[in-house]
Each structure stands twice: as C-alpha cells, then as structure tokens.
Amino acid sequence: MDRDIHTLMENAIASMQSYIEQGHVLAAGVSGGKDSTCAMVLMLEAVRRAKQVAPDVRHYITSSDTTIENSSLARHIETMLEEIDHFADRQAMSVTTHVATPSLAAQFVVSTIGRGTLIRTPQNGVRNGKRIRACATSWKVRPQGRLRTLLEKNASGRCERGHFGDRESPGRKCITWRGHARAP
C-alpha cells in the first residue's frame, strides 16, 4: 500500500466526494484537535470539488461545548467555526457549522453541585469492567447525537459522519491507560 501522504489525502477526498456526488450529506465532528481538524479539512475539500455536481446538498461541521472548557480552547473552537463559515460563504459551499451542548441536567454545575455526584474523571468512570470517560458521553457524545438527529431530519436523510475516536494515537492510548488523560 502506498503510504505517501498526498495519495492518502486524495483517496480520502475522492471517497467523500463520491458520497457527495451520490447525494449523501456529510458531517464532521470537530474537537479542535489535529485528527478531527484534518478530517474536517479533507471533507471541506471534497465538498469544494463536488459543489458543481451536487450544489444543493448541505453539509455540516459540528462541535461540542461542554460549558466547562478552558476559555482559551472554547474561543479557539468558536473562532475556527466562524472561519469555516466565512470560507464556505466565500467558496459558495453549502456547509454550515453547529455547536452541541449538554442538556441542563447533564451540565457540570447541575450534576456536581446540584445532585452531589462525583466529579467525573477517567479514574472513576467504569462500565462493564472497563474504564470509560463518562464526561465525554454526557457532555459530548449524547449532545452530538441529538444534534445529528436534528440535522438528519432537516436534511431528509442520513448524515454520513467520520469518527476517529476509536483510533486514538498510541501515545494517547498509553496516557489514558496509565490514568493520566484529562477529561475532555
């Protein structure tokens, strides 16, 4: 298999472009990290290349606001989404950005102070004998799922969405395994 980065990028773009040309809606979840940002940039390039063939197909870039992020990180993501909106407008691309937030009951202040639950960390989250990041589920995964359902209803079809969370880098896996990963 050819591991040239340009070939890999072109293959990814071509794959997404073929979905667009078949009328599929694409959605990319962006955390602001390198993996999701790279996938989002490749998706935007596929949308740009396919806009003549499928100009009416709307695509989505989504992110999560946990409501407790470091303000610098939150502003970084907000700025990135604004820049995506401006880029899509300038390129006449049918791409919109959306931010998912946890339900009021799942938010940190209500959960921790209001109900007195433990602060969620990778060290105290266990399900089926495996460590989990419960905060990621209630603060990011579920809100993104609700947003995806809403977008699918508006798009009158299924959103095809790439997900890289199961393919963490070896370094991140090692850090998480040792129990030093910070909750997102």
Taking the model in full, what pTM does it have? 0.72
Per the structure, how many domains does the chain have? 1
Per-residue pLDDT of the chain (184 residues; tens, 9 = 90+): 457 999 999 999 999 999 999 999 999 999 888 999 999 999 999 999 999 998 888 999 999 888 887 889 889 999 999 999 999 999 999 999 999 888 777 776 777 776 666 666 666 666 666 666 666 777 777 888 888 888 888 765 555 555 444 444 444 443 333 333 333 3
In a domain, 9, yes or no: yes
d(CA 60, CA 21): 16
d(CA 142, CA 9): 30
CATH number of 86's domain = 3.40.50
In a domain, 123, yes or no: yes
**Domain hosting residue 57, numbered range:** 5-178
